[in-house]
Amino acid sequence: MNKNWLLLVSMILLFFTSSSWGADLPWEMKLPFKEAIIHYELSGSEKGKETLYIKEHGALRATHRQASTTMMGVTTKTDTLEIVDPDWVATYDLAEKKGTKTTNPRKIYVAEYSKFNAEEKKNFEKNAKELGASLMGQFGGAVQEKAGKILGYDYDVTTVAGISTVHLLHGTDIPLRTETSMMGMKSTNAATKIETDATLPGNAFAPPQGIVATLNPEAEEMMTSMIQHTMETLKKPDGAKQMQAAGPMGMMQPTGKQPTAMPDSGMSPAEQQEMMRQMGEAMQQMQKMPSQK
């Protein structure tokens, strides 16, 4: 498996964002605080620290992750920075001095949704709710809102059988605690401190010096095709049923193509850990569909 597939795995479930389907559409969600710094501690198969910087109610985000992953006696260190703005998602490997970027998927969703007429928008919203509920069932998922508090904040908890338990800041897509178990590896990513009145570093959202993030055409094409196919299907009256019949792999295939198997390759231990983390966190994107309440 390559990094392009990791990106696609994380992006496919972004559509099922954790914001409530009420007055706002998923991609219009705003966080309850304008700015924040959230510190995380990583433990288990992956050990290290992560810092999330938030600005403009979540429209700007930067995640700096320093960790080491041990798998089959081999330890791999990672030092990454991910910067998300309204246009791009850029990921930098600070150790290898490389960077890649793709269009922010929310931007693609907005562009596709804007093409719909009034009836198609109604179909889309109805089908999205139905599909989210169906996928939660397929993954053996369960949702509990306001299940408790972490660092003084209410959280919603989503469990996906055998894969993850994610505690989200209530009504948002911000994880406060993520427990994942996949491919024999178990890890926990837990928030240890939330600062909403701290001054953000001046360079928090600046690309690292000497590294240019280049467009990843393969990931861009896969992601765009998947989103367009999903939106095109869900605007139809029976869109949810069509997607359910196609199954999870079929959701990633343009109409008329046969589902393909997940690409295989020599994925590094760090990439496997990253996939486990992304899969666990992506599952939480489905957690607040109204039909699950």
* Segment 25-45, tens digit of pLDDT: 767 778 889 999 999 999 998
Q: Indicate which CATH number applies to the domain containing 109.
A: 2.50.20.10
Write down the pLDDT at residue 21. Answer: 45
Write down the pLDDT at residue 18. Answer: 41
Task: Report which of 47, 15, 8, 54 is spatially closest to residue 169, judged by C-alpha positions.
Answer: 54
Higher pLDDT, 189 or 272: 189
Query: pLDDT tens across 80-99, in order?
Result: 999 999 999 999 999 999 99
Range of the domain at 108: 3-292
Write down the pLDDT at residue 165. Answer: 87
Write down the pLDDT at residue 75. Answer: 84
Residue with tokens 């998927």: 105
Supply the mean pLDDT for the chain.
77
Higher pLDDT, 107 or 17: 107
- Percentage, residues of the chain above pLDDT 70: 70
Burial 139-149 (b: 16+ CB within 10 A, else e): bebebebeeee
Could you write out the DSSP letters of every residue in 3-71? HHHHHHHHHHTTTS-SS-SSSS-GGG---SSSSEEEEEEEEESEEEEEEEEEEGGGTEEEEEEEEEEEE
Q: Distance between CA atoms of 8 and 227, rounded to whole angstroms?
A: 10
Query: pLDDT tens across 222-261, in order?
Result: 888 888 888 899 999 999 888 878 765 555 554 444 434 3
Write down the pLDDT at residue 6. Answer: 42
Domain count, the chain: 1
Task: Report which of 276, 15, 252 is spatially closest to residue 125, judged by C-alpha positions.
Answer: 15
Taking 60 as the threshold, does the pLDDT of residue 58 lie above it? yes
